[in-house]
Each structure stands twice: as C-alpha cells, then as structure tokens.
Structure 1
Amino acid sequence: MYQRSLDNSPLGKSSLVLIIAEKNIVARRIAHILSSGSYSTKKVHGIPVYFFTLNGENYACIGLKGHIIDYDFPRRYRKWILTDLEEVIWSPLVVVAKEARYIEALKALAPRVKRIIVATDYDREGELIGLEAVHIVKKASGRLLEVKRMKFSAVTREEILNAFRNLTDVNQGLADAADARRAIDLIWGATLTRFFTLASRARDVYSIGRVQTPTLALIVHREREIEAFVPQKYWVVVALLEGGLKATHVREKFNTLKDAQKVKSRSKGPYAEVIDVNKSLTKRKPPHPMDTTTLLALSASIGFSVDKAMKIAEDLYRFGYISYPRTDNTVYPESLDLIDILRKVCKGPYEKFLELILSQKRITPTRGPKRSKDHPPIHPVNYLPPGKLSRDHESLYDLITRYFLATLSPPSTWERVVV
C-alpha cells in the first residue's frame, strides 16, 4: 500500500465502483480486505480515498464523518419572534453542508462513478448517512446510478467478503425514519425553546429537546425524592469471632439503642456456640446475550461513563474485535457460528474456558426477550492480544468477551451456608 495526494492532480477517466463507509477506518479495512492489501491511498480535497482493482473493475472506497449534511430553517426565521412560531413549525427546511470537504470529495469522484455500494452501519442513522452521500454523487454526476447495499455486523474478513458477495438493496424506510427523527428534533426543539424563552422573558435560553427535556424531568423527580428522604437511625448487633468471622443477630436491625443493648447484654461470654448449620445448593442461570443497554449498564461497573463506553465499543467494532455495538437484539441468530467464534476468541486468558464450554453434551446459548434481524447481540469476533490497544479498550473487550462466554456456559452452582 502506498499513499500520494491528488489535491492538485486529475482523477483520471476510468469508471469506478464507489464504496461509501461511515468512517475512514472502516473504509480502509474494507479496501484492505477486498483488495487483499493491494490498494492505494489518494487524497481528494484532503479526504483519504482507497483505490483498488477487483475482478477487472476499478473501485474507490471513501469513509465519511457521520452525517455530512444537516437541516436548518430559512434565514428569515433566524430572528426570534413569538408570533411566528406556528409558521416556524410548518416551514420547509433547507439542507446545509455539515462537512464541506467530504461533499466536495464526493462531487470530484462523481463523474467517474458507475455504481455505488453503501457500506455504512446498518441501522437508521447509517442508512440515512449513506443515502445522503448517494444523493450528492447522483446529483453531481447527472446520471442514474445503480445503488447496492453491503450489510455486515462486524468488520472482519468473513463478514465483509460475505456482505460484498451478497449485496442487497438500500432500505429507504430506515433512512426515512432517521430523516423524520432529525426533522422533528429540529422543528420541535427550536420551536419550544423559542416559546419558553420568549414567553418567560428570561435572559437565559430555556433549551427544550425531544430527549433532553424528559431526561431532565426524570433527574429532577429523582432529586426531589432524594431531598424528601428522611433518614432513620437503626442499630445492629454483631459478634466478632476468631478468624475474622462475623455473626449478625437474626433480627438484623433494631430501631432503638435500648433494644440493641438488651441483646448485647445477653450475649456476653468468651465462646460462641454453633447450634445449627444449613447448606443448600442454588443454580444461577447465565445472562441473556448482550444488547446495548446491558453493555452500558455493565460498563459502569468498570468505571466507564455511557459516552466513554460507546466510544470504546465503536473503536473495538471498527478495529474488527467485536460485533456492532448498537443493537437491542438478545437472541443469537441461527446463522451465527458460535463455535467458530469461540475458537477465534479463546486464546490467552480465555483459553481455559474453551474446554469447559465444549465439554457440554449440548451447547445451548441463552435467549433474551427481544429478537431482531438487523444485528446480532454484541459479542467478540476476534481475539484482542494484550498491548494491541489501550488498557480501556482491553477492559471493555474483556467485559464483552467474558459475558459472551457466560451465555454459552452451563448454569453456575452456588453453595449457601447459613450458620
């Protein structure tokens, strides 16, 4: 692979199949996988584009930076006036450039493009991001172009090759759903923000949003509960025994100091007598496959905020170590080769779990309450060697991997001893 700049060079005349990815790192991996490492990097308006030849056709793969266009109101509504709010609601929105360099790069490539393959993340936002770029290329080329879709849930060689060999149509419905969400967020957010700010005649802006305002209401409600809480004192009686053992009185909590002291006064003496021991075995079922909500909840246990956890998870996905991290699916699809994933992942510290899982007469993965077809539950797809990425990446990968292994393991057995 080599690199050179095309900012001041002609792009040539040969026709191209344009592959559009959501991020640069994914575009580079797709180019590397499809070309077996034989691709060239050229910059178009400062944006890296990866060129290669496959089966006699020339390809260009470009990674975007999320949404490259956005919506805004016409200029006449920039001045806040209370009387025109209803007019603002029904005003047609205008499209504005959000990432101008990427738009110019797509326009520069457009004259050579004969076919487009959308390879953005397969969800609502990814579909819209891809089709935004498609519309720019189509308009700049002035021609009707065939558009196909690569659908993959992990940036691995197997998934990328399979997606490339089994191209589908783009899902306009997914894109329309994301587009409607974006328009509603702008219209109602801007309108209600203007209304409350102007009606209150406050100096500060009262920001209102479709998500932020209900979230703020939940926080306020919880804070009021905390402020209204009246703590109550209680006492416990604990016997400190040899060997660091502690024995708590069966009543656990005493509402008055007098009651606790009565129990303490009856418990004086140099010895403690064990009068009964009860043992019982309890089985605990493994967790259901991991969805995004579960990932974020467990990430808090290792000290990660929601934003940090999602950023690291997206990195692991783009580097080819885990599956797509935004999913509500909690059922592994039958097409997912779990044994193959096990053999790829169970190396280093995870090797000891391979024999345990494979020793079962029948491996039956757990199932959660929700099943969808967009993406499988979150799972590792390749082994992450120590030192390859940061410690934070390793920590989240370890959490995801151990959770995945648990979903394929037999129930754990606990012995409960009550003395």
Structure 2
Amino acid sequence: MPKTLIITEKPSVARDVTAALPEAFRKKGDFYESEHWVVGSAVGHLVEQVDPDEYDTRYKKWRFEDLPILPEEFRYEARDDRSQKQLASLHAAIRRPDVEALVNACDAGREGELIFKLITQTSGTTKPVRRAWFSSMTQRAIREAVERLRDDGELRPLEDAARSRSEADWLVGMNATRAATTKAGSLRSIVSLGRVQTPTLALIARRDMEIAAFVPEDYWQVRAAFATAAEERYTGVWQRGSQNRIPNAQEAERIAAVAGGVEATVVSVERKPLEEQAPMLYDLTTLQREANSRFGFTAKRTLAAAQGCYDRHKVLTYPRTNSRFLSSDLIPTLRSVAGYVGGAAPEYAKPAAYVQGLDSLPLGRVVDDAKVGDHHAIVPTDERPDLSALSADERRIYDMVARRFLAVFHPPARFEQTVVWTEAGGERFRSRGKVLIDAGWRAAYGEVAESDKERKADDDEGAEQDLPRLEDGQRVRCTAAEVQAKQTKPPARFSESSLLRAMETAGKLVDDDLAAEAMKESGLGTPATRAATIERLIDAGYIEREGRQLKATDKGLAVIRMLGDHDLTQPALTGSWEQRLARIEAGEESREAFMRDIARFTETTVAWFADKDRSAMRVERRVIGPCPNCDGEILERPKSYSCSSWRSKKEPGCGYTIWKQVGARTITPEEAEQLVRDKVDPATLAAERTVVGPCPTPGCGGEIVERAKSYGCTSWKSRTETGCGYVIWKRAGGKDVTFEDAQAMVAEGRTNAGPATSAEPVGPCPTPGCGGQIVERGKSYGCTSWKSKKQTGCGFVIWKRQRGLGRDIERDEAARLVAAGLSAPPKDAEPAVVAVAPAGDAAA
C-alpha cells in the first residue's frame, strides 16, 4: 500500500496531526503510521551551513587576506549528534519504497519552509512534495489543511526568500565578523557583526550617546490653584500662546506674585466630543511591545507564551505573523469564536454577548485580504478553550488577544474633552479635563463611563482632571500660585517595547499604528526573528538590561564608534533588504539579483576594514575628574566611578571607587563630579533610606524604609537575621510599586510578598539512600541535597502548582505525598503520578 510521509517541525505537532486525521495510527519508532500515512517530525532546525574551513582548509585560521569568503554553492550538515540521529531517521523514512510522496507540515513561514527543504535536500530525494498550511493547531484546521494541500511550486518564492535570508546573514555576518576581528579585535575578543544585529545595536548605542551628550537646560513653570464660590477646586498651568515654559526664575516669580491670592475670571471654556477607535488586532511585534509595557515581558518570553498558546493548547492562532488583519474566509467563524471566548471566563461574557448580538459585524478595520500575507492577525481559535491548563504567562497573553479580538467589534469610545482658560492678575492659565461618556470598545477591558481615572498626563501640560462645571465669564479665586523649577530631559533609553517599534519601522520614530503598518515590510528582521536578535546582542555583551531599559555596554558603544556611519549600521539599508526579501517571497523579485547585491556589499565591507587596527575599538570612558588619592583620573565605568590606576582585581591601584548604586540611590555622573571635587571618601556614602512609615507588624517597632529592590523593615539585618520579615517588593506580578503605593500599603498593613515559608522540614526525603530533608521553597517542596542547577542532588521535588490540578499543593498535602514517596497527587489531579524508584532502576 503506497503511503505519504508527513514531516512536521516538532514532535508535539506530529501527535496533533495524528489525532486530527481520521485513520488509526500506531507508534513505530520515531514515527506514527496508519494505512495511508506516515507522520514524523524534525526537532526545529536539524541542518545548518557548514563552517568556512569545510570549503577550504585555509579558512580554519582567521586571516584578513583570505576574505571575503563567497561560496559558489552553500553546503549543509547536521547541527549536532542529536540532530544527526533525527536527520538520519527522516532520511530513511523518505527513502522507504512504500513512501511515494511527501507533505511539508513544518511551521507555515520562511523558517518552517527552510527546515523542510534542507531535510529533503540533504536526503537527495526527488519524490513529489505538497504543502500543509496551518494557521491554527485545532483539529478542524489540521484536517482542512491536509484536505487542501498546496502545490510545492506555489511555495517556491517562499523558499527562495528563506534561502536568501539565511545565505545573506551568513555572508555578511561571517565576513564582517572575521574582518573586524582580525583588524580591530582578537580571537579572545571577537567583534561579532551581522546584517540585522548591527543596525539594531546602532539604534541603542546612538540613543545612549545622545543621552550622554545631552546638556539639560533650566526652565520654570507656574501652576495655580483655583476655587469657585461653591469651593469647587481645579488647577491650571501658566501659558502664553503655545509656550508654557518660562526661561528665567525672576519672570516666573513675578507671574506667581501677581496671580496668587487674587480674584480671577474664566475667560474661555471649550468642550468638544472625542472618539477613540478600538486598537487594531495583534501581530507578533505589537503583542511583544504591549506585553513588555504592561508586564515587563521580554520579546522572547512573550513569543514563548504565544507559541505555547498556539501549538500546545490550541487556544490562539499562529503567532509569528506580521499582519494585523483577517482574511475574508474567516468571516463566517467570527461570531462562533466570540462565543467560545465568552464561555472561557466570566470577564469575557458580556463583551462577547455584545459581539454575538450585532446584526452585522463592523469589518472595515478588521478584514483586508490585501494586507494578509502568509498568516492573518493573532486571534483566538474557533474551539472551546480550556484556560485552566495555561501557565501564568500564557494566560496573560491569551487575555490580551481575547480582549483585543472582542474590542475590535465594539464602537469607538466617546469622551468629552474640556479646555478652560482662567485669567488672574493679567496672566492666563490653562486647565484640561477629559471624561469618558460611552465606554465603547473599552467595555471589553472592563471600563465603564465616568471611570477613566487612570489619566496620562504630560507633566508640562498638567494632568487631565475632573473639572467643575465652569462657564465663560465666571468669577473664581486664585488661592495659590506656585513656581516649579524644572530641567529639560534627555530622550528616553530604549525599552524592548520601543526598540521593537523602531526595528519594525527601520529606526523611524512612528507612533501611529497605521503609519507603522505601511512601513513594516522594510523593518529590521521579521516578527519571528526580532526577539532572537535582542537576545543575541545581550549574549554577545553588546547590550544589557537595566530593569525594563536596554543599554549599550562599553563594548557595544566601541563597535558602533568604530563603524561610524558605515552602511552596516544603517537601519534603512537593512530595512530595504527586508523589503526586497518580501518582494522575493511575493514572486516580484529574483533571488539571484538580491544575492549578487549582497555579495557586492560583502566585498566592500571587507575592504572598508583594510586600514583599521585595534585602536579603532578602544573604549572611550568619561573622565569625572582627577583622583583624590593619586595622580590618576576617575573614570565612569559600567557600575562605578573609579580610578584609572585600577587594572584588575590583582592590581586594584589606589582603590578609589564610588559605586553608581548606593542602596536605593543612583549616583549620577554630575553628582560623582561634585563628590570627587570635594574629595569625599566613598566609604562615608551610606545608603540614603527614606522612611515609608512605621512597620505594621504587631509588636515589631521598626520602620519600613526604601531599599534598592524593596520597601522593608529595619528589623531585617541579614538572611539569617530576618527580623519581622515584613517586605513590599518594588516589582511584583508585573507591576511596579511606587513610593506612594508603598505608603498606602504600609498604612493598610498590606504586602505583595508571598507568605513566608516554614523553616521546619516537611519530612525526610523518600529517595533511597539520599538522607536529605524535604523543605518548603518559594514554588516547590524540594530536597536539601539540591544546591544549584549543576548540583541537583537526588532531584526529588513536588511543585506547588502542577498542570491540570487547578489549585496549589499546600504543606499538609505535601507531607502526605512525601510519606507516600510521590511527587504529584494521584488519579485525576495529575495523569502521571511519579513514584520514587531506587537509583539503579531510574533508567527502567
């Protein structure tokens, strides 16, 4: 009986395919077989390009004279021993006499196409291939994809784009890295460059240079408080024309003096309605940006959660998309999707019912076939979801996508915006107010009219406020006028959210979603690769995370200073390459022409490094001032301001060091300059601790003070002297806690810290021969033999939260499990109960 071999990208997808197809499957080695089908899988990328010395042994040694390396035909090999074993298994299946055809069921995109094509290329097969194109992993979607297999030739442009991207990255990255390293670096300090990573680094480094060069300017503002005859109060900011900044203190003091405490008049009240459209559906980049802004998720973390919702739980459609629209063939499913979302959790029920009750769905900003490429926007799937199985990260991502999906079918939110001008002492003050009249799409997020209290305010403009009902000509009183001294601020550092937007728009500053939509084909990288680019820059030591901010390291700054304005640093050039790759994918440009241009660029890039030497990569450090202890200079370093006499831990020089972070206080370069001028001893810089309030723990008597990462009690001395243990973490559950938040929490005796774990052991470890004790930790009950990821001890652990259980395992239950030698509750609480076996039987 002739059979067709289906190859998926991951083993889990192979299982999903067998579950969706109507035939009965049996497991045979690495494959599942039925009467007509054989289903196997890769494990991601099995094949990679060979190293340069595989083309010529002289390339084993890095020499500038041997560059550029331009293979006539690229060769490939298995990535590692595990990949080789899997690749050999797939090759054997492809060559089976009873396998007459192949189906490419790898992920529907460039990477999935390349994974499959390299497997078949290295097998040497000429058997016919068809394509299964999945946009979601529900059983219905899988069956439909297999019933409507696409001709392989139809996907040839996608393969061309995938190969072109891969080969261009190799040519530019390999040659530029070797050229830069042999001329300006060393084999112990490799200068890694790349087609996408280098312009991305340039965005961050140039922003940091701009911040370092920024010189703040002083200005002043005057804020006035007003009261009506009925003692209704509001505030206003002085403004003349469009200017609300005053260049000198004397003029600000004069304005405050003439306005404060005098009768005033409302000279103008302007009320106008505003409409706010629902945000567009998510593509991957927008999802990553908003998850970073809301929860502090990295792009990599968001992608992992979205991918889990797609292939593991089948609750979301394919996440690696760059479209924010749906195709018209999905229109008949939209109401049922809303119904499934509404039934998934109580918070979705009301907005879902609204969508289902519409006579016709508003599709103008939702459906556009011309703006859907390989995949449509990320939306919930057309099946009943089980949200109890989702991890905390996956649940948050599902919530974002589900609410956005429901919101796009709601009407605009309606506001009334009010601008009031009040004159006091001949000076005018502007006040702003904004009231939510009709929640519209915001109802999908739980908002109702009159509840828009989370107001965003430009500090200079003054906060939007609940204004009293004022009329033109109304007499009021200016109760006070206050002068505020301010300074201009440098541009903000990149967060992952703002960097992803900059990568999407090739460095152009665009805030509008529709404008960004028009530019996304010429961005840096693709939605599927941007997270990996950021992580690669961190791994290379070029950038680092500081909270939610991304900052270039000294090494990263040195690379960009060396390159200057070289084309490799220009986001626009790399963006134009991405646009050409998109044209190749659409069949509008030839792969050959693109690769010829990449080869020429590679040659000119190598030639550019010909006159460079190691001085080009010298790190430039800011001089703070002369060292108070010796004849050296105090230099700014990544974490300190220290003397140039320092060489290493073994040669610390005079030892003068001011740490940038002292407790909760950050020492700025300007403060460091003053401290050095004053010859302050760094040892005297005790951490300034601001008191939040008295400790609410009964009988404690301590104070809650601000520390670097928390607000904690002064009774805490060390890990062994924990005092009363009261603490509020500055960041918990994806939310930042401000000083004012902490004050309110202390006053109410609240904390965001989990309950302290008991020091008493749960019981003796049941692993034979271990001898350890099971103790309670933050997320588990584990053996004391565990020391670290490298020293795991016997490995016995009971996780407090286990998939499918729907509750946490409390201490009493953990004690019973330990006594029974189990790591999970029996029966329906967890399908696979793990009993502890003697060490010699573990493999069995």
TM > 0.5: yes
CA contact (8 A) 2:44 2:115 kept: yes
Letter in 1 for 2:285: T
CA contact (8 A) 2:32 2:39 kept: yes
**Alpha-carbon spacing, 1:397–1:157, altered in 2? closer, same or farther (3 Å):** same
CA contact (8 A) 2:224 2:260 kept: no
CA contact (8 A) 2:222 2:238 kept: no
Match of 2:371 in 1: 371
**Alpha-carbon spacing, 1:230–1:15, altered in 2? closer, same or farther (3 Å):** same
Distance 1:90 1:354 in 2: 56
Q: How big is the shift at 1:188?
A: 2.2
Match of 1:78 in 2: 60
> TM-score of the superposition, structure 2-length normalised?
0.43
Q: How big is the shift at 1:333?
A: 0.9
- Secondary structure of 1:415's counterpart equals strand
**Alpha-carbon spacing, 1:248–1:314, altered in 2? closer, same or farther (3 Å):** same
Match of 1:10 in 2: none
Higher relative contact order (CA 8 A, sep 6+): 1
Letter in 1 for 2:342: C
Q: How big is the shift at 1:175?
A: 1.5
Unaligned runs of 5+ in 2: 421-844
Match of 1:397 in 2: 398
Distance 1:290 1:386 in 2: 20
Distance 1:29 1:115 in 2: 20
Q: Deviations over 1:228-280 (max 9, x none)?
A: 22222333333568999651324244333333333333444499987765432
CA contact (8 A) 1:74 1:94 kept: no
Q: Structure 1 residue 118 and structure 2 residue 85: aligned?
A: no
CA contact (8 A) 1:20 1:120 kept: yes
Q: How big is the shift at 1:287?
A: 2.3
**Alpha-carbon spacing, 1:41–1:273, altered in 2? closer, same or farther (3 Å):** farther
Match of 2:529 in 1: none
CA contact (8 A) 1:236 1:248 kept: no
Letter in 1 for 2:218: K
1:340 to 336, 341, 350: 336
Q: Structure 1 residue 189 and structure 2 residue 173: aligned?
A: yes
Match of 1:4 in 2: none
Q: Structure 1 residue 18 and structure 2 residue 5: aligned?
A: yes
Q: How big is the shift at 1:150?
A: 0.9
CA contact (8 A) 2:341 2:352 kept: no
Letter in 2 for 1:391: A
CA contact (8 A) 2:316 2:379 kept: yes
Q: Structure 1 residue 62 and structure 2 residue 40: aligned?
A: yes
Q: How big is the shift at 1:359?
A: 4.1
Distance 1:388 1:276 in 2: 57
Q: How big is the shift at 1:392?
A: 0.8
**Alpha-carbon spacing, 1:417–1:205, altered in 2? closer, same or farther (3 Å):** same
Match of 1:238 in 2: 223
User: Identity, % of aligned pairs?
Assistant: 30
Match of 2:301 in 1: 308
Letter in 1 for 2:287: L
* Paired residues for 1:160-171 under 5 Å: 160-170=142-152, 171=155
**Alpha-carbon spacing, 1:39–1:30, altered in 2? closer, same or farther (3 Å):** same
CA contact (8 A) 2:338 2:356 kept: no
Distance 1:58 1:117 in 2: 13
Letter in 2 for 1:95: Y
Q: How big is the shift at 1:163?
A: 0.7
**Alpha-carbon spacing, 1:145–1:409, altered in 2? closer, same or farther (3 Å):** same
Q: How big is the shift at 1:315?
A: 1.4
- Secondary structure of 1:130's counterpart equals helix
- Secondary structure of 2:7's counterpart equals strand
Distance 1:92 1:165 in 2: 36
**Alpha-carbon spacing, 1:389–1:245, altered in 2? closer, same or farther (3 Å):** farther
Unaligned runs of 5+ in 1: 1-13
Letter in 2 for 1:331: F
**Alpha-carbon spacing, 1:388–1:246, altered in 2? closer, same or farther (3 Å):** farther
Match of 2:252 in 1: 260
Match of 1:132 in 2: 118
Q: Higher helix share goes to which structure?
A: 1
Q: How many residues align?
A: 392
Q: Deviations over 1:368-388 (max 9, x none)?
A: 896133111111114544432
Q: Structure 1 residue 180 and structure 2 residue 164: aligned?
A: yes
- Secondary structure of 1:249's counterpart equals strand
1:148 to 124, 130, 135: 130
CA contact (8 A) 1:106 1:136 kept: no
**Alpha-carbon spacing, 1:310–1:272, altered in 2? closer, same or farther (3 Å):** farther
Distance 2:251 2:26 in 1: 81
Distance 1:30 1:79 in 2: 47
Distance 1:93 1:65 in 2: 22
Q: How big is the shift at 1:358?
A: 3.7
Distance 1:415 1:163 in 2: 49
1:227 to 202, 212, 235: 212
Q: Deviations over 1:39-76 (max 9, x none)?
A: 444443xxxx333x3xxx24232232222111122431
**Alpha-carbon spacing, 1:108–1:232, altered in 2? closer, same or farther (3 Å):** same
Match of 1:282 in 2: 274
Q: How big is the shift at 1:222?
A: 1.3
Match of 1:30 in 2: 17
CA contact (8 A) 1:153 1:159 kept: yes
Letter in 2 for 1:300: N
Match of 1:416 in 2: 417
Distance 1:103 1:201 in 2: 37
Q: Structure 1 residue 321 and structure 2 residue 315: aligned?
A: yes
Match of 2:191 in 1: 206
**Alpha-carbon spacing, 1:90–1:18, altered in 2? closer, same or farther (3 Å):** closer
Letter in 1 for 2:418: V
Match of 2:771 in 1: none
CA contact (8 A) 1:288 1:368 kept: no
Moved more, 64-73 or 228-237: 228-237
Distance 1:206 1:94 in 2: 25
Distance 1:362 1:334 in 2: 14
Q: Which structure's CA Rg is the greater one?
A: 2
Distance 1:190 1:137 in 2: 27
CA contact (8 A) 2:340 2:384 kept: yes
Distance 2:124 2:37 in 1: 17
Letter in 2 for 1:305: T
Moved more, 395-404 or 293-302: 293-302
RMSD, matched Cα: 2.8
Q: Deviations over 1:342-380 (max 9, x none)?
A: 122222221111232244443222158961331111111
- Secondary structure of 2:21's counterpart equals helix
Distance 2:15 2:185 in 1: 52
Q: How big is the shift at 1:399?
A: 0.9
